[in-house]
């Protein structure tokens, strides 16, 4: 017997999440490209980034862009953090997270048995989102240490000196870069997650429904 099942509408992302998400997409492009221009002027490792992928044209220009975009990142990040704490978004969506649940979901993912449930974050997603928030905090603090090493000498000391602060800044940037790549791959693998980040809602057929 044919049963007509009406898809349910699930609210996935509230407006503050969507706005800060898309602003971050633009801001991070500016941060990465200007940061690569600064890195090329004094590389930490035996490689540099293609000039076409940098922003600013020269060291002074890259620094100017980086500082300007940095403030946009800080303001956008603070708005997201304040809203996430006050609305209960962090507590509701990112917690609890335990080593046991993370190991379980990693095993399920590696064996292609991890189920994606609309509106619910699995332990891997929770770990990634909490990790990128930590990387963002390290990025800002180490960046301030590099920008004002004399005025913020106490902060520089926490990182173990100016040179080590540069390494922390680079690896924090790399961590966010890895998150972005994984995030894009997940969108490609589960394309139904893209539209809700624009509209906030997902039309979802309940599990067990038959056509």
Between the alpha carbon of residue 198 and those of residues 19, 20, 32, 107, the distances in Å are 9, 12, 24, 31
pLDDT tens by residue, 193-208? 777 777 777 766 555 5
Secondary structure class of 204 (helix, strand, coil): strand
| Percent above pLDDT 70 for the chain | 90
Residue 107 has pLDDT above 70, yes or no: yes
Secondary structure of 98-144 as H, E, C letters: CHHHHHHHHHHHHCCCCCCCCCCCCHHHHHHHHHHHHHHHHHHHHHH
Mark residue 115 as left, alpha or beta (left: phi above 0; alpha: psi -120 to 50; beta: remaining): beta
- Residue with the bigger pLDDT between 189 and 45: it is 45
What does the block give as tokens for 141? 């603090």
Secondary structure class of 57 (helix, strand, coil): coil
Task: Give me the phi and psi of 157, to 5 degrees please.
Answer: -65, -35
Among 14-18, 132-136, 199-203, name the most confident range.
132-136
**pTM of the entire predicted model:** 0.81
As a whole number, the mean pLDDT across the chain is 85
As a whole number of angstroms, the distance between CA 153 and CA 150 comes to 5
Residue 1 has pLDDT above 60, yes or no: no
pLDDT tens by residue, 115-128? 777 667 888 888 98
| Percent above pLDDT 90 for the chain | 43
Between the alpha carbon of residue 32 and those of residues 1, 150, 189, the distances in Å are 56, 25, 25
Between the alpha carbon of residue 31 and those of residues 1, 19, 78, 106, the distances in Å are 57, 18, 17, 31
Residue 4 has pLDDT above 60, yes or no: no
pLDDT tens by residue, 52-76? 999 998 999 999 999 999 889 889 9
């Amino acid at each position: 017997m044919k049963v007509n099942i009406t898809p349910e509408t699930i609210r996935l992302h509230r407006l503050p999440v969507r706005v800060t998400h898309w602003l971050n997409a633009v801001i991070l492009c500016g941060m990465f490209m200007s940061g690569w221009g600064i890195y090329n002027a004094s590389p930490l490792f035996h490689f540099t980034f293609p000039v076409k992928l940098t922003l600013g044209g020269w060291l002074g220009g890259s620094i100017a862009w980086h500082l300007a975009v940095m403030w946009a990142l800080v303001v956008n990040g603070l708005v997201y953090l304040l809203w996430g704490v006050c609305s209960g978004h962090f507590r509701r969506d990112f917690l609890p997270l335990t080593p046991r649940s993370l190991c379980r979901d990693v095993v399920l993912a590696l064996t292609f048995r991890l189920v994606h449930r609309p509106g619910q974050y699995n332990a891997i997603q929770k770990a990634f989102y909490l990790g990128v928030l930590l990387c963002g905090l390290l990025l800002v603090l180490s960046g301030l240490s590099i920008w004002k090493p004399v005025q913020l000498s106490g902060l520089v000391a926490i990182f173990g000196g100016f040179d080590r602060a540069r390494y922390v800044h680079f690896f924090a940037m790399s961590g966010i870069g890895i998150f972005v790549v994984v995030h894009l791959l997940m969108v490609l693998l589960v394309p139904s997650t893209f539209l809700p980040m624009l509209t906030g809602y997902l039309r979802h057929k309940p599990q067990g429904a038959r056509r």
